[in-house]
């Protein structure tokens, strides 16, 4: 239960960060800015304009990982699922409410992303680590 609450905390932080930066552009230092952009696609702006498909995929991933979470014993994998669920849920909320994802973190030449994307990346890295660290 505490891990689910942590996931919800991550979703709240993601949504709050997107709310606070909406329609703003702030250069923190050269190569790192907060610049509000909208993304109708997925990671790296792939699949632009397929919002309904991305909503359905997000729902499937969230439900599947939640079901896996209930029976998973490996704690690293459990945490990977928590981070991926939180990130997917944060971006799903955007897709359903706004029809796009709100991105705002711009690092040098990397595509603009948000905290939810970071959570998904952390979860994916933890999952890879758990699979290859036997």
Reported as a single tens digit per residue, the pLDDT across 1-31 is 799 999 999 999 999 999 998 888 888 889 8
With the C-alpha atoms ordered 92, 94, 95, 101, is the resulting torsion angle positive or negative?
negative
Question: Is residue 133 very low, low, confident or very high in pLDDT (cuts 50, 70, 90)?
Answer: confident
Has residue 122 been placed in a domain?
Answer: yes
Question: pTM of the entire structure?
Answer: 0.92
Q: What are the structure tokens assigned to 6, written together? A: 């942590």
Has residue 55 been placed in a domain?
Answer: yes
Has residue 124 been placed in a domain?
Answer: yes
Has residue 63 been placed in a domain?
Answer: yes
Interior angle at CA 100, CA 99 and CA 105, nearest 5: 160
pLDDT at 22: 80
**pLDDT tens across 82-125, in order?**
999 999 999 999 999 999 999 999 998 888 899 999 999 999 99
Catalytic positions, please?
Answer: 103, 117
Q: Report how far residue 129's alpha carbon sits from residue 134's, in angstroms, rounded to the nearest whole number.
A: 9
Has residue 134 been placed in a domain?
Answer: no
pLDDT at 116: 97
pLDDT at 42: 79
pLDDT at 111: 87
pLDDT at 64: 98
Question: Is residue 45 very low, low, confident or very high in pLDDT (cuts 50, 70, 90)?
Answer: low
Q: Report how far residue 107's alpha carbon sits from residue 59's, in angstroms, rounded to the nearest whole number.
A: 29
Number of domains in the chain: 1
Name the residue range of residue 54's domain. Answer: 2-129
Has residue 120 been placed in a domain?
Answer: yes
pLDDT at 102: 95
Has residue 69 been placed in a domain?
Answer: yes
Has residue 118 been placed in a domain?
Answer: yes
């Amino acid at each position: 239960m505490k891990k689910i609450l942590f996931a919800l905390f991550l979703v709240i932080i993601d949504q709050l960060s997107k709310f606070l930066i909406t329609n703003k552009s702030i250069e923190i230092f050269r190569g790192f800015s907060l610049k509000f952009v909208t993304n109708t696609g997925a990671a790296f702006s792939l699949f632009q304009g397929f919002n309904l498909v991305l909503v359905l995929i997000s729902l499937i991933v969230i439900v599947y990982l939640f079901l896996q979470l209930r029976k998973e014993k490996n704690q690293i994998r459990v945490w990977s699922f928590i981070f991926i669920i939180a990130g997917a849920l944060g971006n799903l909320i955007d897709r359903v409410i706004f029809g796009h994802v709100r991105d705002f973190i711009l690092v040098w030449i990397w595509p603009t992303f948000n905290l939810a994307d970071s959570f998904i990346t952390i979860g994916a890295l933890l999952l890879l680590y758990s699979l290859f660290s036997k």
